[in-house]
Amino acid sequence: MRSARVATSLLATAAITLGLAGAAAGGNGHGKGHKDPGPPVADPAGVIDLPAGYSYDVLARDCVDQVTSTESGGTFPMPADFDANITVRGKGGTVQLLSAHELTKPVAGDFQGDAGKCKVDEQATTDDGDSDGTASVSRLTLGKDGTTVTKRELITTGLHDLCAGAKTPWGTFLVNEEFPFINDPQSRSGWVWEIDPETGAQKRATGMGRMSHEQEALSRGAWYITDDRGNYQFLYKFVPDKRRDLSKGKLYGLKFDRTTNRGEWLGPLDPTKPEQDMEARVGRKADATNSFQKHEGIVRAKRGNGIVFTESGARLNDLPSPAPDQPGRVWHLTDGKHGVKGEVLAEGDFSKMSHPDNLRYDREGNLLIFEDNGSALDRDPATGGNNEVYVLPKGKTGSENLRKFATIRGGGEGTGPWFSRHGKLLYLSIQDQAQPDGSESRVIAIHVPKGHGKKKH
């Protein structure tokens, strides 16, 4: 079935260069000769303000839509908290959109914030070695247009608090377990899992280590990993022994000097306790001198050897009073034979790009930056009360060059940005945004207007 399309009204455009398009495998792409999108236009549905000419379809909603488990055959309300998205080719020209659901099982003594949300418990009938949590992976089968939903399935269950994700070059879906269970004597949570898009089979990427996984990005044979426990943590790099086997390899941690913006890799580390191993090697815990504060979204850099990632910064309730709230920043790290060097691409500012989280490049090299301000939306008037999406144009640095692309209404957070193969659609999850139909989370497909993209050949 196909939901009604919500189109933005036509207004005059403003001068901002953004190529919103992409290829399936890499998630990015755009043609030249595109028009410049203008400022966001108010969405009458209160979901997302987009430039004039852009529109969107709602593809899936938590609690409202029904989903069928491929493990048990049972039918359930769609789980809440859509997050990471990737696409793979389906049969007969169809598209399959995989989404991770960021849910934590409210066990005693642990996080209770997801209690009462729509979820599906473990559907496997035998112990498959996973976290036995309530996070899951859903799969939408879409028509050739990339928006007509013909089937909604739940292909993997029993995982824990799945955050951002990545697609491997061989077509599998990497999902990340953030904030492992507090009481987990068997260490079953806190891992990266590799999901087969066709069968839903899960394989633990043990080599990537056990930590509070946010996301990973592949650059020149190495996977770079962000560790988000909401405080200062070290960044990691995993070099697999075999390209397609993420269960074994060498894991390293980055000791980064914030005074010189240079760093060195320490290791190999014990993948069962990399955080503790790094603290022992460095001689102290991660802090403001040797690591990054709440690092989250990460992508391969468009220039140089390395990656781009967000240092989201701590919120006021994570800091000792009277320390100020930290708006965060976006980093570019180059990793070569002369070591690691860091460069700040854009500093955060609560009036423009604060608490940056998810990232995605378009083919031209423009960087989309998605905010996650959390409680700062209520506390700091400069945020405007909504999370926004900014663009850092290709070749530019500095917050003065950021351009606003979209505003996500009602305190919602945009997660899991992923571009369609031909660059005509941007898939996006939105969390924590209550709507009149009873849903609080959804996946949308944003249509790039004609002239803003060009088919990849």
Specify the pLDDT at position 316. 58
Pairing of strands 339-347, 356-361: unpaired
Q: Specify whether the CB–CB gap between 383 and 430 falls below 8 A.
A: no
> 380 or 265: whose pLDDT is higher?
265
Kindly state the tokens that stand for 415: 């997660």
Amino acid, res. 434: A
Q: Per-residue pLDDT averaged across 376-395, rounded?
A: 89
Select from 212, 419, 438 the least CA-distant residue to 299: 419
Q: Per-residue pLDDT averaged across 313-336, rounded?
A: 78
Q: What is the pTM of this model?
A: 0.91
- Whether residue 454 is predicted with pLDDT greater than 90 in this model: the reply is no
Give 433's contacts (C-beta < 8 A, 6+ positions apart).
Answer: 47, 408, 409, 410, 411, 412, 413, 440, 441, 442
What is the band of 450 on the pLDDT scale with cuts at 50, 70, 90?
confident
Q: Which of 176-185, 297-306, 329-338, 349-358 has the lowest mean pLDDT?
A: 297-306
The whole-angstrom separation of Cα 389 and Cα 37 is: 13
Specify the pLDDT at position 303. 77
Residues, the chain, total? 457
Specify the pLDDT at position 21. 32
Residue-averaged pLDDT of the chain: 89
- Whether residue 145 is predicted with pLDDT greater than 60 in this model: the reply is yes
What is the band of 421 on the pLDDT scale with cuts at 50, 70, 90?
confident
Specify the pLDDT at position 318. 57
Sign, Cα dihedral of 356, 260, 317, 113: positive
The percent of residues in the chain predicted with pLDDT above 70, rounded, is: 88
Detail the DSSP E strand segments found in 15-161: 40-41, 48-51, 55-61, 66-69, 75-77, 82-89, 95-101, 135-142, 149-159
Q: Per-residue pLDDT averaged across 14-20, rounded?
A: 35
> 340 or 304: whose pLDDT is higher?
340
Q: What is the DSSP letter of 280?
A: H
Q: Which of 49-53, 126-130, 308-312 has the lowest mean pLDDT?
A: 126-130
Q: Three-state SS for 194?
A: strand
- Whether residue 292 is predicted with pLDDT greater than 50 in this model: the reply is yes
What is the band of 131 on the pLDDT scale with cuts at 50, 70, 90?
very high
What is the band of 452 on the pLDDT scale with cuts at 50, 70, 90?
low
> 211 or 452: whose pLDDT is higher?
211
Specify the pLDDT at position 31. 37
pLDDT tens figures, 220-255: 999 999 999 999 999 999 999 999 999 999 999 999
Specify the pLDDT at position 323. 61
The H or E element containing residue 377 is: helix 376-379
Give 341's contacts (C-beta < 8 A, 6+ positions apart).
Answer: 261, 262, 263, 333, 334
Specify the pLDDT at position 13. 27
The whole-angstrom separation of Cα 401 and Cα 404 is: 10
Sign, Cα dihedral of 143, 27, 362, 3: positive
- Whether residue 455 is predicted with pLDDT greater than 50 in this model: the reply is no
Q: Per-residue pLDDT averaged across 411-435, rounded?
A: 95
Select from 159, 156, 181, 165 the least CA-distant residue to 214: 165
- Whether residue 130 is predicted with pLDDT greater than 80 in this model: the reply is yes
Q: Residue 221: is it exposed, middle or buried by C-beta count within 10 angstroms (0-12/13-18/19+)?
A: exposed
